[in-house]
Amino acid sequence: MTQVENKQATNDTPFVPIEKIVALCKRRGFVYPNSEIYGGVAGIYDFGPLGVELRNNIRRFWWWSMVQMHDNVVGIEGAIITHPRVWEASGHVENFVDRLVDCKNCKRRFRIDHLPEENVIQNKCPNCGGELMEPRTFNLLMETYLGVVEGERMKTYLRGEASQNIYLDFDNVVKSSRMQIPFGICQIGKAFRNEVNPGNFLFRQREFEQWDLQFFVHPSEMQQWFDFWKEKRFEWYKGLINHKERLHFRAHGPDELAHYAKQAYDIEYKTILGWQEWEGIHWRQDWDLSRHSEYSGQDLSYVDQNTKERYIPWIVETSGGVDRTFLNLLIDAYEEEPDPTGKEARTVLRLHPTIAPVKVAVLPLQKNKEELVTTAKDIHKKLQRLMVSQYDDVANIGRRYRRQDEIGTPYCVTVDFQTLDDRTVTVRERDQMTQVRISIDELPLYLLERVTWH
Ligand SMILES: [Zn+2]
């Protein structure tokens, strides 16, 4: 990936209050509450014009890094609805639950695992001290029905996690591609969780987008591939952020580990809310393919072409998502700094240039000089074929720079009177606010080198 010199963040850079990110997201068209005109739906969000560009870039960069750049990794795109037995085999029907209690007095609802122990023991509401009702269990799978005729309708679920499709398609991929173990299957896709109490903003959503790598190995090579992908994923996130010291591994303790897992790690990012999980690196052993073999009656073992050994492959899983990456990158990038040249503070999103929703803005110095305007529009039209470009001639040049800083646009190209003489333009860089003069002919290559991954 292109190395770009971002302004070095330091340990004492203050954390940004989440409210500022939320306000920016709404104001500039990154994130909107879903169905807002009807009062909204908790835990569900829409993404605006800049939000969708940012998400597309995040997805493409993950896909490029994981699938395109690895000869032994392929991708699939599975359906959101699967056979209901999938969720019995996966354990979600049984275990994907929240245990909740309501207070008889103040009617507030709590997750039992979030209550202080003494409240559970004394059956006492932490809010008002009132008596708590009997706990009830809620399954988080979102139910849906296939078919229209009552009695013939099949109850199933919107997938509770995207990765199940990869296990379901494992045998088809082996038979239809030339993949041999060790190899991996990647997928990006929506998943659903019927949270009873969704969190604020994008922290705990009911509809979200996950990405997974399931990497299939011979048991004897499990440790080496686990270490390989653990390191790879950490470096991937580190390459995208400014505050490198806010990223770390957290090892799962013995009580958190699934019975089949030898080890597991979370890559975590520190925000004003403390350390938050960003991606999980999981040791899944032969659990998933064994379960699906058992529940489907189909043998999902693998035969080594050379040794003829037959075995259930073991799996290294790396599991993160678009939403969390989107949120963490915004938190990481948001900065307010005093304007060194003026009076106003400047808000700037220091997004990595390859991820930024808009790559370049083309600005005529004045909008009432026709030659400046036509030249600028001409440059914009040419750049637009190569990258997301915006043309802007509204307000003075300083205001236009600020608007672009706030949405993270890494470069602004200004067409001025010198342009008309020598066909050069000013390229202003977002973070350092440095300016260089470049000929119009060299501009596309100059920008492409800096705003695309390669
Ligand atoms: Zn209460």
Report helix, strand or coil for 317.
Answer: strand
For residue 2, the model assigns a pLDDT of: 41
How many whole angstroms from 108 Cα to the centroid of ligand 1? Answer: 6
In whole angstroms, what is the distance from residue 44 CA to residue 31 CA? Answer: 10
CA 55 to chain centroid? 7
- Taking only the tens place, the pLDDT of each residue in 122-155 is 888 988 989 999 888 888 999 999 988 877 889 9
The length of the chain is 454
For residue 123, what are the contacts with CB-CB under 8 A and spacing of at least 6? 131, 132
Q: Which residues surround ligand 1, an ion (CB under 5 A)?
A: 103, 105-106, 125, 127-128, 130
Distance 122 CA to ligand 1 centre (A): 13
Ligand 1 centroid to residue 401 C-alpha, Å = 51
CA of 115 to the centre of ligand 1 (A): 12
Residue 87 CA: distances (Å) to CA of 165, 173, 260, 269: 11, 21, 19, 30
Judging by beta carbons within 10 Å of its beta carbon (0-12, 13-18, 19+), is residue 297 exposed, middle or buried?
Answer: exposed
Continuous H helices in 134-221? 164-176
Those residues whose C-beta lies under 8 Å from the C-beta of residue 149, and which sit 6 or more positions away, are: none
CA distance 213 to 82: 19
List the 389-391 sheet strands across, edge first.
Answer: 389-391, 360-364, 411-415, 424-429, 435-439
What end-to-end distance do the CA atoms of the chain give, in Å? 5
Alpha carbon of 198 to ligand 1 centroid (Å): 20
In angstroms, rounded to a whole number, what is the distance separating the alpha carbons of residues 274 and 272? 5
The CA 137 to ligand 1 mean position distance, Å, reads: 19
158 contacts 80 by C-beta, under 8 angstroms:
yes
One DSSP character per residue, 70-100 reads -TTEEE----SB--THHHHHTTHHHH-EEEE
To the nearest 10°, report the CA torsion of 353, 356, 362, 365. Answer: -80
The predicted pLDDT at position 3 comes to 42
CA of 101 to the centre of ligand 1 (A): 10
**Ligand 1 geometric centre to CA of 18 (Å):** 28
CA 102 to ligand 1 center in whole angstroms: 8
Ligand 1 centre to CA of 110 (Å) is: 10
Structure confidence at residue 116 (pLDDT): 87
- Please give the distance, rounded to the nearest whole angstrom, from the Cα atom of residue 106 to the centre of ligand 1: 4
Enumerate residue ranges in the chain where pLDDT < 50.
1-10
The per-residue DSSP string of 212-264 comes to EEEEEE-GGGHHHHHHHHHHHHHHHHHHH-S-GGGEEEEEPPTTTS-TT-S-E
Backbone φ, ψ for residue 130 (5° rounding): -70, 175
What integer pLDDT is reported at residue 7 of this predicted model? Answer: 45
pLDDT reported for residue 337: 86
Domain ranges of the chain: 18-81+154-331, 97-139, 358-451
Give residue 89 CA to ligand 1 midpoint distance, Å. 38
Which residue do the tokens 């050379």 mark? 306
Among candidates 59, 43, 27, which has minimal Cα distance to 194?
43
Q: How far is ligand 1, taken at its centre, from the CA of residue 33, in Å?
A: 29
The pTM of this model reads 0.91
CA of 44 to the centre of ligand 1 (A): 27
C-alpha distances in angstroms, 198 versus 41, 194, 356?
A: 10, 8, 28
CATH architecture label of 18-81+154-331: 2-Layer Sandwich (3.30)
* Cα 116 to ligand 1 centroid, rounded to whole Å: 14
Residue of 143, 192, 212, 211 lying closest to 43 (CA atoms): 192
Q: How far is the CA of 272 from the centre of ligand 1 (A)?
A: 28
Strand partners, 217: 314
pLDDT digits (tens, 9 = 90+) for 392-429: 999 999 999 999 999 999 999 999 999 999 999 999 99
Q: What is the pLDDT of residue 16?
A: 87
What pLDDT shows up at residue 344? 74
CA of 107 to the centre of ligand 1 (A): 6
Domain range 358-451, CATH architecture? 3-Layer(aba) Sandwich (3.40)
Measured distance CA(332)–CA(249) in Å, rounded: 17
